[in-house]
Amino acid sequence: MPPTYKINPDRTKPWNDIPELPIAADLYKSTAVLEQLVTARAALARLQGRSIAIPNQGLLINTISLQEAKASSAIENIFTTDDELYKAFSDQKYQSAQGASKEVLRYREALWAGYDYLQSAPGFDLKYFVDMYQEINQASDGIRPAFLQTVILQGGSGVNAGQVVYTPPRGNQIPEKKLQNLIEFINNDVDYHIDPLIKMAIGHFQFEAIHPFRDGNGRTGRIFNIHYLTKSGLLDFPILFLSRYIIDHKDDYYNLLSGVSQRGDWQSWILYMLKAVESTSNITYSKINQILAVKEAILDEVVKHKDIRRPEQLIQLIFTQPFTKVKHLEDAGLYAEKTARNYLNKLSDMGVLERRSIEGGHYYLNLELYRILSE
């Protein structure tokens, strides 16, 4: 007899009986899962190997994490244009950023705050999850109170729009206990020795099912995915563009989450997450190679201009983010203001940068970097 999984029989009632982790291995172990696991691990290892060979990690840290933040926020219908986002990041004025750009930058700040926290913490804990939620939402509370009538409604404008599709656990200390079980599962690799990619997929579902916070659970869960990969040693930096796959397959994402709670279909969910790792590893790997290739080509051209001092440092800096300002070159200690402006104008004349005046500010857009990130 195959193992059974206690599903959620009534989606309108709190699922207080979410089975604790670990789940039985037979619920997801199959030839299809193992084959997809091998493919996903290979793609992720290739990305990791490429990233550690890059001397300028800021190229990855700034550019890829901004795209991840944008995509993850878009899943929650928080949309911003590339120009708005890159300008806000370039200005480094996160608190004064407006609307969707501000929310996306909060996600990026949470991405790096959590990464830094886990560098010294022995593992995941309640503080980590609360910190991520608070950073994303600029909130001061923690686990949602027992009296809160939290439900997940069907989105869109179809005939089922507004109907309850899931009700997370509710009651005194129930979400806290479920979350503590999840924390024990993801931290304990001795008793729960499971491949990290499969463990990540299981942990992500469990977190979304617990739904411990008032808001921002989806974004917190996606940040957790990336942090688990870095904490497990599969990535040095949180650069996997994982939300790209989810937004491209958004309906499948939500349907497969429901497939676990309603039918106990763990295999389809885990296959989806493994394919997401494979696909986004390949996309990120390709973007890194494109960025490095065009960076070297531009440097070769700039070096020909003997009147530009320290060309390597200059080109490296304009590839750490799409929008560059004169102040960035000054703050980096490269040049004085007049020289910095002169060099950026020369790069504009060469077609490397494009001068833009936005709300009274002067910016220089790296055209090729912008193009690659926007694809």
- Residue list, annotated binding site for ATP: 76, 211, 215-222, 253-254
Per-residue tokens: 227: 């942090």
Known catalytic residue: 211? yes
ω into 22 cis (within 30 of 0): yes
DSSP per position, 126-150: HHHHHHHHHHHHT----SPPTT---
The single residue of 193, 204, 211, 227 carrying the catalytic annotation is 211
Q: Which two tokens stand for residue 184?
A: 């024990």
Q: Could you give the CA distance from residue 55 to residue 58 in angstroms, rounded to a whole number?
A: 9
Tokens of 315: 């080109």
- Across the chain, the runs of DSSP E, i.e. the strands, are 152-153, 164-166, 323-324, 353-358, 361-366
For residue 243, give the nearest of 6, 64, 19 by alpha carbon.
64
If we measure between CA atoms, which residue out of 221, 278, 241 comes closest to residue 33? 278
Cα–Cα distance measured from residue 288 to residue 274, given in angstroms and rounded to the nearest whole number? 21
Contact 139, 164 (CB under 8 A): no
The letter for the amino acid at 372 is: I
C-alpha angle with apex 242: 237 to 243, nearest 5 degrees? Answer: 125
Provide CB contacts within 8 A for 35, sequence distance 6+.
none
What is the three-class DSSP state of 194? Answer: coil
Binding-site positions read: 76, 211, 215-222, 253-254
Say how many C-beta atoms besides its own lie within 10 A of residue 351's C-beta.
11
- Count Cβ atoms within 10 A of the Cβ of residue 205 and give its class: 0-12 exposed, 13-18 middle, 19 or more buried: buried
Closest CA to 113 of 98, 95, 127, 99: 127
Position 225, amino acid:
N
Which residue numbers are catalytic?
211
